[in-house]
């Protein structure tokens, strides 16, 4: 049976003793088994989960429970889990069983959370629809013929379908926010460096950031509290301490609407949902003003140059020697590298590796990679300047609602999905997507972007909105 309580609600039930973690975990595992057709999970770990749940129940009985103790959660299959296969959605890592845990996994383990499995994703997190997974596409719980978004599509679909109370995802150019929008759940990409990248399979290291997907902003805040913090094992981990306090009430918030984002939004019904949200913030006492981010139109090309270059470098480690896929009967070392990589990587991954190889090669490095890094600074600086005048930015998360599986076959068209999310990624800013409307029976997401390390401002704005509205409580099969 699917369970649509929020993580905070189910934690209260565990505290009150109305349900045990073992009972809860059994229900969750049974719901996952019943929802196999969604293809949200690559690996489910029944026995391991029940063992963790028993430990969690003991811990609670001793009065040592933390906020997430005993709560079943899932990890995108990009987080290394000791002894549990971690595929990154690729044939390359189809049999990879890590010898260590990602820091994120260690932190949730230490807090007593129960891992029920690893969620499906676009191969090496490259995709906006979850269609590039070696393990097949994930289906959107609101309409199985549509995509759940990507690349954290399995994580978002699992939360939206009531299969887990939360799932960890990763976001390089929108991979938490876009699937959260497409499936009607809440997702947070924290400030770059806020959550450790140690044990997260690398895609584009100057952009990759882990973050939670859940059913409410309050839940995101709790999960962020567990996952965030300095980690000496990640060389780009932020040393600034996490400040859990919310410093501003909603009626003191200054909210900016970047005019370039709204000008680029073609779907009028999505625009109408955003407009309703804007009016709600005004009525709640926030000051809403128009702002301008003139380099928005070059964010996508800048992002794809930087991300592909970093991907081609990061993915050079897959050589068929130390771990990962190895071809049969290689004739020589070159043949071993070439055929192992050619068989192990899918089409989108190869496309990005070739693009990155091109922009990093002699004669093109200055014109593309260095140029993109310069434009990236302009984009970052104009966000930083804007945050002198506003506390958060309110934008659409996606250009439209979830599209049918197979509808977007052109890669360049697929990249346009990221038009509203890559800006915050390039600038390293925290950004959150929460549901704010409904079009054709499908959820619409709004994005809130904050200044560096300003996650608490996003929690203030998002939580106030969710306390007054019910978009985040709408479930698959229950149309408005």
Partner 1 sequence: MTILEKDIDKLCALARLGLDADERSAARTDLERMIAMADAIAAVDTSGVVPLAHPLDATARLRADEVTEAVDRDAFQALAPLTHDGLYLVPRVIE
Using CB under 8 A as the binding rule, whether residue 467 contacts partner 1 is answered as: no
Using the rule CB under 8 A, which residue among 65, 220, 270, 372 binds partner 1? Answer: 372
Binding-residue pattern over the window 82 to 121 for partner 1, x denoting contact by CB under 8 A: --------------xx-x----------------------
Is 273 one of the catalytic residues? no
Shortest separation between residue 457's beta carbon and partner 1, angstroms: 17
Using CB under 8 A as the binding rule, whether residue 12 contacts partner 1 is answered as: no
Q: How far apart are CA 157 and CA 312, in angstroms?
A: 29
| Nearer to partner 1 (CB atom), residue 36 or residue 385 | 385
Shortest separation between residue 99's beta carbon and partner 1, angstroms: 5
Q: How far apart are CA 378 and CA 371, in angstroms?
A: 11
# residues contacting partner 1 (CB under 8 A): 73
| Nearer to partner 1 (CB atom), residue 43 or residue 183 | 43
The active-site residue out of 20, 151, 308, 312 is 151
Using the rule CB under 8 A, which residue among 45, 375, 414, 444 binds partner 1? Answer: 375
Whether the link from the prior residue into 424 is cis, omega within 30° of 0, is no
Using CB under 8 A as the binding rule, whether residue 302 contacts partner 1 is answered as: yes
Using CB under 8 A as the binding rule, whether residue 374 contacts partner 1 is answered as: yes
| Nearer to partner 1 (CB atom), residue 374 or residue 467 | 374
| Nearer to partner 1 (CB atom), residue 262 or residue 358 | 358
Using CB under 8 A as the binding rule, whether residue 206 contacts partner 1 is answered as: yes
| Nearer to partner 1 (CB atom), residue 269 or residue 380 | 380
Using CB under 8 A as the binding rule, whether residue 355 contacts partner 1 is answered as: yes
From 46-54, 66-74, 218-226, 408-416, give the range in contact with partner 1 by CB under 8 A: 408-416
The active-site residue out of 133, 175, 186, 456 is 175
SS (H, E, C) the chain: CCCCCCHHHHHHHHHHCCCCHHHHHHHHHHHHHHCHHHCCEEEECHHHHHHHHHHHHHHHHCCCCCCCCCCEEEEECCECECCECCCCCCCCCCCCCCCCCCHHHHHHHHCCCEEEEEECCCHHHCCCCCCCCCCCCCCECCECCECCCCCCHHHHHHHHCCCCCEEEEEECCCCCHHHHHHHCCEEEECCCCCECCCCECCCCCCCCEEEEEECCHHHHHHHHHHHECCCCCCCCCCCCCCCCCCCCCHHHCEEEEEHHHHHCCCCHHHHHHHHHHHHHHHHCCCEEEEECCHHHHHHHHHHHHHHHHHHHHHHHHCCCCCCCCCCCCCCCHHHHHHHHHHHHCCHHHHHHHHHHHHHHCCCCHHHHHHHHHHHHHHHHHHHHHHCCCCCEEEEECCCCCCCECCCCCCHHHHHHHHCCCHHHHHHCCCEEEEEEEEECCEEEEEEEECCCCCHHHHHHHHHHHHHHCCHHHCCCCCCC
Using CB under 8 A as the binding rule, whether residue 322 contacts partner 1 is answered as: yes
**Angle, alpha carbons 414-392-200 (nearest 5°):** 50
Using CB under 8 A as the binding rule, whether residue 292 contacts partner 1 is answered as: no
Is 76 one of the catalytic residues? yes
| Nearer to partner 1 (CB atom), residue 56 or residue 426 | 426
Is 342 one of the catalytic residues? no
Burial of residue 129, with CB atoms counted within 10 A of its CB: 0-12 exposed, 13-18 middle, 19 or more buried: buried
Using CB under 8 A as the binding rule, whether residue 376 contacts partner 1 is answered as: yes
Shortest separation between residue 362's beta carbon and partner 1, angstroms: 10
Shortest separation between residue 197's beta carbon and partner 1, angstroms: 13
Please, which of residues 324-353 interact with partner 1 by CB under 8 A? Answer: 324-326, 330-339, 341-342, 345, 347, 350-351, 353
Using the rule CB under 8 A, which residue among 12, 18, 145, 235 binds partner 1? Answer: 235
Using CB under 8 A as the binding rule, whether residue 26 contacts partner 1 is answered as: no
The active-site residue out of 20, 76, 128, 189 is 76
Neighbours of 134 (CB within 10 A): 21
| Nearer to partner 1 (CB atom), residue 164 or residue 353 | 353
Please, which of residues 236-265 interact with partner 1 by CB under 8 A? Answer: 236, 238-239
Using CB under 8 A as the binding rule, whether residue 378 contacts partner 1 is answered as: yes
Shortest separation between residue 69's beta carbon and partner 1, angstroms: 29
Please, which of residues 417-446 interact with partner 1 by CB under 8 A? Answer: 426-429
Task: Catalogue the active-site residues.
Answer: 76, 151, 175
């Amino acid at each position: 049976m699917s369970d649509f309580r929020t993580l905070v609600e189910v934690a209260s039930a565990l505290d009150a003793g109305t349900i045990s973690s073992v009972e809860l975990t059994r229900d969750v595992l049974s719901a996952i088994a019943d929802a196999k057709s969604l293809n949200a999970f690559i690996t489910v770990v029944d026995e391991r989960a029940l063992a963790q749940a028993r430990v969690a129940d003991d811990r609670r009985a001793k009065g040592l429970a933390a906020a997430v103790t005993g709560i079943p959660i899932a990890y995108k299959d990009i987080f290394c889990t000791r002894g549990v296969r971690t595929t990154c959605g690729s044939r390359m890592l189809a049999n990879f069983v890590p010898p260590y845990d990602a820091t994120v996994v260690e932190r949730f383990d230490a807090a007593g959370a129960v891992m029920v499995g690893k969620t499906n994703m676009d191969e090496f997190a490259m995709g906006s629809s979850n269609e590039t997974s070696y393990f097949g596409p994930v289906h959107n719980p609101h309409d199985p013929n549509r995509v759940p978004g990507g690349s954290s599509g399995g994580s978002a679909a699992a939360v939206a379908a009531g299969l887990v109370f939360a799932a960890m995802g990763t976001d390089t150019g929108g991979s938490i926010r876009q699937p959260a929008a497409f499936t009607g759940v809440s997702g947070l990409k924290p400030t770059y460096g806020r959550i450790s990248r140690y044990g997260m399979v690398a895609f584009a290291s100057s952009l990759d950031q882990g973050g939670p997907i859940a059913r409410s902003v309050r839940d995101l805040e709790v999960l962020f509290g567990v996952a965030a913090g300095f980690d000496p094992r990640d060389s780009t981990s932020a040393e600034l301490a996490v400040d859990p306090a919310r410093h501003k009430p909603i009626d003191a918030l200054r909210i900016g609407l970047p005019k370039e984002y709204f000008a680029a939004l073609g779907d009028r019904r999505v625009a109408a949902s955003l407009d309703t949200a804007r009016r709600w913030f005004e009525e709640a006492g926030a000051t809403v003003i128009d702002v301008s981010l003139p380099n928005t139109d070059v964010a996508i090309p800048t992002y794809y140059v930087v991300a592909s270059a970093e991907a081609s470098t990061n993915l050079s480690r897959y050589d068929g020697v130390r771990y990962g896929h190895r071809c049969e009967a290689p004739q020589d070392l070159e043949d071993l590298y070439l055929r192992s990589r050619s068989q192990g990587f899918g089409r989108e991954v190869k496309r990005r590796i070739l693009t990155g190889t091109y922009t990093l090669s002699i004669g093109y490095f200055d014109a593309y990679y260095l140029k993109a890094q310069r434009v990236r600074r302009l984009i970052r600086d104009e966000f930083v300047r804007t945050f002198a005048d506003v506390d958060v930015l309110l934008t659409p998360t996606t250009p439209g609602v979830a599209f049918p599986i197979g509808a977007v076959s052109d890669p360049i068209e697929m990249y346009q999905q990221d038009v509203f999310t890559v800006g915050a990624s390039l600038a390293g800013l925290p950004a959150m997507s929460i549901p704010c409307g409904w079009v054709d029976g499908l959820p619409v997401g709004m994005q809130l972007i904050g200044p560096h390390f300003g996650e608490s401002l996003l929690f203030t704005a998002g939580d106030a909105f969710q306390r007054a509205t019910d978009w985040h409580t709408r479930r698959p099969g229950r149309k408005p």
